[in-house]
């Protein structure tokens, strides 16, 4: 599964997307006022919510997501969701959800370079960006809920 988040301004209108080959799906959505890190996390969460058993390889171009869930989260859990300098962990609500989801399936994490020609990473980026840009369209054209689409 490839995931990406996009934000036009930070904060600003944002979009997220997850593209999976097994099982095959594309899922995406948007938020009117958010940050890029929240969209990156949301993409992974929404993608994992589609996978209930087994093993999943997650490819993200977000070092924040990959390092957060594979390295930093262990310290945050020990320190009652405080960073090493004692401040509150940002996006705690999303990190908590991601921790639960990663306990339900086996996840292998991979960082991929953004905009480097990886077809599935580029597709996730395109979908996420389209969602963020759609928030600039008139309200009647905007969908309220994420729209899953099977690629079967």
Name the CA dihedral angle for 131, 39, 100, 60, rounded to a multiple of 10 degrees: 90
Start-to-end C-alpha separation, the chain: 15
Buried residues in 2-25 as b, exposed as e (16+ CB within 10 A):
bbbbbbeeeebbbbbbbbbeeeeb
33 catalytic per annotation: no
CATH of the domain at 90: 3.30.420.10
Tell me what pLDDT residue 140 has.
44
Number of domains in the chain: 1
115 catalytic per annotation: yes
61 catalytic per annotation: yes
Write down the pTM of the prediction: 0.89
88 catalytic per annotation: no
4 catalytic per annotation: yes
Pairing of strands 2-7, 106-111: unpaired
Task: Tell me the residue range of the domain where 68 lies.
Answer: 2-150
The pLDDT tens digits of the residues spanning 95-127 come to: 999 999 999 999 999 999 988 889 999 999 999
Coil vs helix vs strand at 142:
coil
Q: Which of 14, 29, 31, 40 is catalytic?
A: 40
Tell me what pLDDT residue 149 has.
62
Q: Which of 14, 29, 31, 61 is catalytic?
A: 61
The pLDDT tens digits of the residues spanning 54-109 come to: 999 999 999 999 999 999 999 999 999 999 899 999 999 999 999 999 999 999 99
The pLDDT tens digits of the residues spanning 2-46 come to: 999 999 999 999 999 999 999 999 999 999 999 999 999 999 999
Q: Which of 115, 117, 141, 144 is catalytic?
A: 115
């Amino acid at each position: 599964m490839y995931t990406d988040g996009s934000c036009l301004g930070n904060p600003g209108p944002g979009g997220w997307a997850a593209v999976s080959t097994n099982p095959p799906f594309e899922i995406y959505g948007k938020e009117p006022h958010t940050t890029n890190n929240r969209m990156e996390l949301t993409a992974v969460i929404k993608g994992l919510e589609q996978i209930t058993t087994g093993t999943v390889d997650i490819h993200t171009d977000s070092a924040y997501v990959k390092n957060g869930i594979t390295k930093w989260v262990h310290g945050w859990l020990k320190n009652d969701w405080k960073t090493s300098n004692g401040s509150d962990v940002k996006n705690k609500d999303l990190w908590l959800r991601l921790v639960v989801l990663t306990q339900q399936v086996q996840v292998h994490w991979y960082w991929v370079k953004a905009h480097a020609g990886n077809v599935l990473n580029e597709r996730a980026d395109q979908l996420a960006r389209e969602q963020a840009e759609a928030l600039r369209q008139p309200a009647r054209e905007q969908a309220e809920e994420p729209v899953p689409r099977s690629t079967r």
